Amino acid sequence: MKKNISLAFAVVLATTSMVVSAEVFNHVDLDKDRRSVEYSGPINKTINAIKERKWLGQTKDMDGGVVFTPYVNPQFGKNNTESGGAIMVTATFYLYDEPVKEALMVARQSQIPGFVEFYGYDSRELQMHVRVIDGDTFQSFASDTQYRSPEKLNTYKKVEQFNKSSYKSEMKSASDSGMVF
């Protein structure tokens, strides 16, 4: 009898811990033309927590990261311009230790509660929905529709340096490989 009670207690405890660890994300409808200025408190708090640090996000497919730098918007406060109410950052994306893309991004309140959205000023398809966990970690979805799939939540850790590619030593210049005649 004691074995059955112990087994039942262990099952309940294991089930409870799995339920607690499975985080559920919600979605709220916000005005699609919402401006940064209206949500400047949470946006500035997030930017201050992640700015000018190297953030490494590792998945099984890549080893890269991002560095966010505040952008001084010269149009800020001018309501007659598209970027007048925009708090902006420059995001430099890395593959290993090489920068591969730099994008000017607009910050605004995400439709995923607790997250701040950064989207490309020139391309709205480039998105990061970010929430700061602590001084060394933030999490991100690549779009506001991924909240339904918690496995698509990426975790970024603060690092001193990005990893070096192990393929650089194998690469040859075009002239060394015989590609240039």
Q: Distance (Å, rounded) from C-alpha 164 to C-alpha 167?
A: 9
- The predicted-structure confidence for 100-116, as pLDDT tens digits, reads as follows 999 999 999 999 999 99
Q: Is domain 30-162 classified as CATH 2.40.128.640?
A: yes
- Burial class of residue 167 in the structure, from the number of CB atoms within 10 Å of its CB (0-12 exposed, 13-18 middle, 19+ buried): exposed
Per-residue pLDDT at 14: 47
Residue ranges for the chain with pLDDT beneath 50? 5-21
CA distances from 58 to 39, 46, 122 (A): 30, 21, 26
Q: What is the pLDDT of residue 20?
A: 41
Q: Alpha-carbon distance 106 to 43, whole Å?
A: 10
At 23 the pLDDT is: 78
Query: What are the structural domain ranges in the chain?
Result: 30-162
Burial class (CB in 10 A: 0-12, 13-18, 19+), 98: exposed
